[in-house]
Amino acid sequence: MNESTEHIEYVLGLLDEPTDRLTERAIKASPEQRRAVANWSLIISDHLLSQCESRPLPGWVWSRIERQLDHQAKDVGSALRRWRMAAAIVAMIGIGLLVGVFVPHQPAMNADSIAMMPMAQGQSATWEAKADTATQQIQITSLTTTDQPANKQAVLWLITPQGQTVAVGRLPMNKGESVTVRPALWSNTIAQTTLAISLEPTGKPIGNKPVGPVVWQGDWSKAS
């Protein structure tokens, strides 16, 4: 009889921190362990669900989810505009200390991965992306001024090793523009993601997968 119960103990949350961490690593490393926890997760959750009452949620929870999705696909260009507006206000009132109030806090960037991204496969780089795993930030700098195709916007995506796509945001189009973003639902495996650029229809919200053509895909390189 197989008397191993670690995967059920993990699903139930019984383990202390060190054991929980060790078990998580074992689960991540083994498809068989992942299958075992998946099976027990479904069995236990189905039982718990059958014993729970449905409860009404306040309406703002959905609003918050929508905002989060919008933020995820946020226009990095608008982040740039906010920065400029803040800078203008600071300049007008002449109080440098206000920078800390108006500029969103971003931890210091220490890039460990870098990618040079062209507008199309085989072309020279249009953008440089730098990623900092520790602070979970990506900084994107436009190296050239680029004209976008009519009714299209260039959008940067990340594709995880499991095939999950995460919209990072619209790419800046003017030379020298640089923005820093922290994509929602970030995992700690930046260097393992594949980058992709697609041309999405303008004026439409960005979903969880590219709708327009993917014009480039590439990988991160280790930053020197």
Partner 1 sequence: MSMKPNRSNKDRNQDDDQLTQWLQATAAGDRSAFQKLYQRTSGPLYGLCLRILKEEGRAQECVQDVFLAVWQQAGRFDPARAQPMTWLAAIAHHRAISLLRRFNREITTADWADFLALADAPLLSPEGHQGGSVDGDPHDWQLMDREAMTRCLEALRAEPRQAIHKAFWFGHTYQEIADELSTSLSTVKSWIRRALINLKSCLGLVN
Residues that bind partner 1 (CB under 8 A): 1-3, 5, 8-9, 11-17, 20-21, 24-25, 27-28, 31, 34-35, 37-39, 41-50, 52-58, 61-62, 64-65, 68-69, 162, 164-166, 184-185, 187-188, 205, 207-209, 211
149 vs 207, which CB is nearer to partner 1?
207
* Type of residue found at 18: P
Q: Which of 71, 10, 70, 66 lies closest to 39, judged by CA?
A: 10
127 vs 186, which CB is nearer to partner 1?
186
* Type of residue found at 39: N
65 vs 116, which CB is nearer to partner 1?
65
12 vs 95, which CB is nearer to partner 1?
12
What distance in Å separates the CA atoms of residue 184 and residue 187, rounded to the nearest whole number?
A: 9
Q: Quick one: which H or E segment has residue 153? A: strand 152-159
Min separation Cβ 50 and partner 1, Å: 5
Min separation Cβ 136 and partner 1, Å: 12
Quick one: CA dihedral 182, 186, 192, 194, positive or negative?
negative
What distance in Å separates the CA atoms of residue 153 and residue 219, rounded to the nearest whole number?
A: 21
Min separation Cβ 129 and partner 1, Å: 20
